[in-house]
Chain A
Amino acid sequence: MAEKRELKSVVPLLIPRSYMSTESNLTGSWRFLKPCYDEKTAPCSTACPAGEDIGRIEMLMTQGMFKEAWETILRENPFPAVCGRVCFHPCEGKCNRGEFDDPIAIHCIERFLADTARRNESKPAIDKLSSKQEKIAVIGAGPGGLAAAYFLAILGYTCDVFESMPEAGGILRWGIPLYRLPVSVLRSEISRIEDLGVRIHTGKHISQDFLEGAGNDYSAIFVGCGHSRTRRLNIPGEDIEGVENGLEFLRKIREGEEHSFDGPVAVIGGGNTAIDVARNIIRLGSKALLVYRRRRQDMPAFDQEIQMAIEEGVEIRELLAPAKVELNGNEYTLTVQHMKVAGKDVDGRAAIEPEGDKIEEIKVQRIFKAIGEEAAEVWYNPPDEKEGKLILSNSVLVSRSQGAALVFGGDLTNKTKSVVHAVASGKEAAIALDIFFHEGFDAIEPRLKTCAVGDGPSLSMEIYMGGPRSQRNHHIVQYDEINTDYFQLTSRVKQPRLLIEERLKTFGEIDLKISANLAMREAERCFNCGLCNQCDNCYYFCPDLAVIRDNSAQGRHINYDYCKGCGLCVVECPRNAMVLEEEGQ
């Protein structure tokens, strides 16, 4: 062993280290920019007429909190299982992820959550305000009326819903075909509305007298009678027996009436009803011919529905205007005038004019008219008088000096006729009435603005009721505000569907369920625009250890004694849930 010697260097060890704790150096005093947690509004949630908190729903989904995610939908929309299936999901069109790869399949996740809750027989924990004295009557148990009753019940009102048909649901029950919406799904959604205390009186036809006489019993009446009459073609022969209304045909099928056709059937129109009628005919074993006076791209029907109709064999004949109908033996001759495009009309669709005198005769076994619907009774529409009338985004409120206040909603007050717009009108009506009862007529418009999602017109019941969502900044997060370095390209979940051959044999649901793992993976694609999902990036990147985790809803706060305001946390926040403000503002 070598002789041990005294080492020179080990003590003392000279290194540049502060003698005292650096805690006395409040580096926060250097700050002129201040980072703050600032949750914002996702574009999908403003695009949703029901204002669903989609970014949060997807976040809860990724965390496996399926019930909480479902309840988050229910706060804004009583029909997740229905909308997950039949909604045309305008949310997905505004999804920021669409600029990165593909939008989130929001409707698939909505349906998954609703179906999962139903399978587990979950009971939602939805806050309901204490009972109020006002009673509200709702005419029509369609999506608009049921939504109005649902939201009114949440706000503490007693509601009676009157429905002329033997079962509630309106267009959902009697119009939308089974292959898009199974009846059991609808029934479970409606029973949940009844569980809130809403009383639904079916088989009760309401006449106009009710509006005048009901004032004693009810403080307000919601009129959501929808479209139940098909418009007339106004051509010779349209009243011949066998020339039928498309909507009525759909209703009869949903009532269980059996139909069969011996040959090809013509459907006149280009809306969703026309498409549904044609697809029903295909399922009844016949050939369907869709006759439309403009072009396919001008059809008001949802594009995906048109696409599936074509896949299933519906033949679309464009630029043909019906001129007359004749019956020869048991065969109908539909005479059509060929049309041509002549510029654009006010809606941006093709304007058309006859192409000379070119006509064509189409021989069919039956003819259905589906060129649009209208209110069956004049009083279903909002009155013309201007006095005391408030035209809102999706509904019309009429305050009368005598009798109950009236609110008109559903298809009759919506430019876009969709289930989710009907829900939006019901929600708007409920909030508007609540404001009207408590703060008066003049407060309605300004107060509605405060519960808009982003810049509106979608409204949030949660914001109105002062829930956590009311703390959010109304700024709508744009794609370039997302830090996409934190996301990888991943493909959107593909909606599994029945094979076409299978579809044609049954009225069974076409869109099949997706598994929990696919749904979670899809939800993980969501940027959660503007929302904090506790990713902890701010915590990891803070060079001053100034992000302090805590028990608050935010889960963390910033220690401004030491935050230098470098802004790293804000830049590294993947989803723009933080903001850098000038100090002192």
Chain B
Amino acid sequence: MKRVLEGSQAVAEAVRLAKVDVISAYPITPQTHIVEFLSEYCANGTMNARFLRVESEHSALATLIGAATTGVRTFTATSSQGLALMHELLHWSSGARVPIVMAEVNRALAPGWNIWTDQTDSLAQRDTGWIQLYCENGQEVIDTTIQAFRLGEWVNLPVMVVLDAFFLSHTYEPVDVPDQELVDRFLPPYEPKFQADTKDPRAFGSLVTPNAYMEMRYNIAEAMEDTLSCFEEVEDEYEGIFGRRYGSVEPAHCDDAEIVLVTSGTITSTSRQVINDLRARGEKVGLLKIKLFRPFPVDMIRQTLKSAKKVAVIDRNISFGASGIFAQEVRAALCNLAGHPPVFGYIVGLGGRDVTADLLEDIYWRTKNNEVPEKESIWLGLQEV
């Protein structure tokens, strides 16, 4: 049924439809609406879930690790400082192989205090063993969140569904909310592969010596690798039932493109319009949206970008001392490909600054007019200070 929903409510609706058993979260702007909706659902009986209030994000995730170990479906949501506070337990949850799903609303890190969108918070957690999926609009948010449970439970890894602060979390859009019956078909009750059980007590997360630790890490690496194809299968099934798919990456007009813009999140939507305008003016430009960031879909990116002359990666994030993080990843994906195109990196829109169509077009012309990148990443739109 089509409804006009705020991005936050799209998340909450997906969690409701997924019949999550345990939710634990600590409120932080701009994630707060998500947990407000969910606590209301739990309170009024719309959801038959336990909503556990805690004193911090650290405790929220710790709580869910415990809950998930008993074999129930779990969900949390956070943002920025909250995610940073979870850092230790992000590693723990992937190491413990519990398929917790988290909605992560991209928000800038302090100081200075800033509640607006910026991808640095989630990208800084790229090495924690979480699957990361970046969304472009409300429909993608609801679909991806439902898929996240299926995916995570399949490969036993935690999943982060990432959405831009305000541009997505607080924007109302028409969203097709799937029927419960169909969601149940797509997402049957969670069947855990292991379960803490007081009747058969086992120790979880105990000491592992050097002769076994590496194998366990390799096992996670394999699971991440499998995730690439598992995600495709999950999407296949989802498409079969609901008629929608997004792809780990989504190329647009890339077949004959000389310059490809690489984007993620809501900047993609603006870029689509810019690409169309430029194409109408005869420019051979394409667009590659990256949705799946962990595991990084190296093969598909290579496949899409190998024939391009230049690649422009747009980053709403910064790894200080290096460059934009997507640019790093794309460079790394291409570097072993003989004759790969040069990668131009651009830093834009940090702390929620608007990324306009004009700015995106500027990126295109800069890329076209320079033979090689003058720097790893160029900061655009800086004001005189």
Contact = CB atoms under 8 A, between A and B. Distances in A.
B202 A8 contact: no
Contacts of B123: none
B290 to A, nearest CB: 19
Contacts of B155: 7, 9-10
Contacts of A4: 233
A2 B201 contact: no
A112 B223 CA distance: 67
B201 A9 contact: no
A499 interface: no
A8 B226 contact: yes
Contact of B229 (A2, A13, A17, A545): A2
Interface in A5-21: 5, 7-10, 12-18, 20-21
B36 interface: no
A16 B216 contact: yes
A9 B236 contact: no
Contacts of A7: 155, 226, 229-230
B1 interface: no
Contacts of B216: 14-16
Given A2-B233, A4-B233, A17 B226 contact: no
B36 to A, nearest CB: 25
Interface residues on A, range: 20 to 34
A1 B236 contact: yes
A429 to B, nearest CB: 56
Interface stretch (B5-13, B76-84, B192-200, B354-362): B192-200
B206 interface: yes
Interface residues on B, range: 20 to 34
A22 B203 contact: yes
A25 B236 CA distance: 47
B236 A2 contact: yes
A22 to B, nearest CB: 5
A23 interface: yes
Interface string B218-245: 0110110110011011001000100000
Contact of B206 (A5, A12, A16): A16
A15 B97 contact: yes
B89 to A, nearest CB: 16
Nearest to B199: A21
A545 B203 contact: no
Contacts of A5: 229
A1 to B, nearest CB: 5
Interface in B168-212: 193-194, 198, 200-208
B99 to A, nearest CB: 11
Contacts of A10: 154-156, 193, 223, 226
Given A13-B156, A15-B204, A16-B204, A8 B222 contact: yes
A22 B201 contact: yes
Given A8-B226, A9-B225, A13-B194, A18 B206 contact: yes
A15 B226 contact: no
Nearest to A14: B219
A6 to B, nearest CB: 9
Contacts of A9: 155-156, 219-220, 222-223, 225-226
Contacts of B127: none
Interface of B: 95-97, 154-156, 193-194, 198, 200-208, 215-216, 219-220, 222-223, 225-226, 229-230, 232-233, 236, 240
20 contacts: A2-B229, A2-B232, A2-B236, A8-B225, A8-B226, A9-B155, A9-B156, A9-B219, A9-B220, A13-B156, A13-B194, A13-B219, A14-B215, A14-B219, A16-B204, A17-B205, A18-B203, A18-B206, A20-B202, A25-B203
